[in-house]
Amino acid sequence: MINALSPLDGRYLTKTEAIRPFFSEKALIRARLQVEIEWFLALSSHPDIKECKRVAAGDKKKLRSILERFNTKSAEEIKRIEKQTNHDVKAVEYFLKSKMKKIPGCKKSLEFVHFALTSEDVNNLAYGIMIHGALKEVIKPELKSLISKLSGLSKRWGKIEMLSLTHGQPATPTTVGKELAVFVERLERQQTWLNEFKMQGKFGGAVGNYSAHKAGYPKVKWEAFGKKFMRSLGVDPMTNTTQINPHDDVAELSHIMCQIDTILIDFSRDVWMYISRGVFGQKIIKGEVGSSTMPHKV
């Protein structure tokens, strides 16, 4: 921690550790592995892709257990492979193949791991998995909890009167509860947008046209098959792309988060003002220091 390059992993570690399981490199490697495993299983289940042998239920369980048992040691093994390949996604492929050799129903179809994919096909879906995980497990619950707490305080303090200010000057009376209700309403609007948000997915190969897929198996309806696969991972499939996902989805999410942060900055400034006016008081915590030179600071 003391040798961290960024305050996010150093001084503020306790504030960010909840999202580390979703946004670390280890999490990215795991999400890539998930995409590769599920793609192999999808191929094996298609009746027109006969060379990729159908995987029995027991072997499916063994294959998915590779992901379930994934840990730091697994990630380190993949990083060692990457030192040789000098390619992060290929290292995941090699790792998976080495594990699948031990599964009877998979070892004859190893070359269908990463079949027809470009690295971006794996990466963009992996990012979708990671972001959806963080939203579901951390960000949405935190926002819901904050709104609930503010709503509770708004009701509790609904009849506590105070003088409002406009242009920094005394105006007409208001209540503490009503002023907090302003932020509840603003945050609830953004919560609605956040709950409706979904990451998008791209899965069409080297230039987005399913060219390699169609060359190998021209009878397969690859566009429909690809969309079904992307939906199975929880992302909205894109129909027309180049080699890459343009990541308009990330921009969209960033704007929603920016709006939430802007509202919380407004809230923080108002609370700061209420403290300076004596409306709110700060709790004194034994041992904490508010200033290196002024003893009265909280």
Task: Return the active site residues.
Answer: 167, 291
Spatial separation of the C-alpha atoms in residues 17 and 155, rounded to whole Å: 32
Give the ranges where 199-247 is alpha helix by DSSP (H): 211-216, 222-232
Spatial separation of the C-alpha atoms in residues 110 and 63, rounded to whole Å: 12
Spatial separation of the C-alpha atoms in residues 90 and 195, rounded to whole Å: 34
Spatial separation of the C-alpha atoms in residues 247 and 124, rounded to whole Å: 8
Among residues 156, 136, 147, 151, the alpha carbon closest in space to that of 188 is found at: 147
Pull the structure tokens for residue 224.
């429909």
Pull the structure tokens for residue 202.
């791209």
Q: Which secondary-structure segment (H or E) carries 62?
A: helix 57-68
> Could you tell me which residues are beta bridge partners of residue 165?
170
